[in-house]
Amino acid sequence: MTGGKARIYNGDMLIKIHLGKLLGERKLRAAEISRKTGIAPNALSALYHEQVSGIKFETLEKLCSVLSCAVSDLLEYMPRSSQSKIFKIKNRQ
């Protein structure tokens, strides 16, 4: 799992976190976000590198505030049917 798109698996759904995309668009580094939010560097790294199973509302609030974005810019819901299509497309390559 790479590319800065974290995936939170919860039963039959997938939530993607677009932290890497937002950092890239704003030309920011995770270290800078850590300093501004107080979120531990290892926690930001886990979000960035897709190694999370959940996220606290407090963390979402801090990230959205510093990145000047809505929660919907940071999180994307993908139903199981969308996941199957993506998996099939990736396996064809």
Average the pLDDT over 15-35 and give the result. Answer: 94
| Tally of structural domains, the chain | 1
- In whole angstroms, give the CA distance from residue 72 to residue 76: 6
Confidence category of residue 78, pLDDT binned at 50, 70, 90: confident
CATH of the domain at 58: 1.10.260.40
More reliable by pLDDT, 72 or 11 = 72
**83 in a structural domain:** yes
- In whole angstroms, give the CA distance from residue 87 to residue 73: 23
The overall average pLDDT reported for the chain is 81
Range of the domain at 79: 6-92
Q: Give pLDDT, residue 84.
A: 54
Edge-to-edge strand list for the sheet holding 6-10: 6-10, 13-17, 75-79
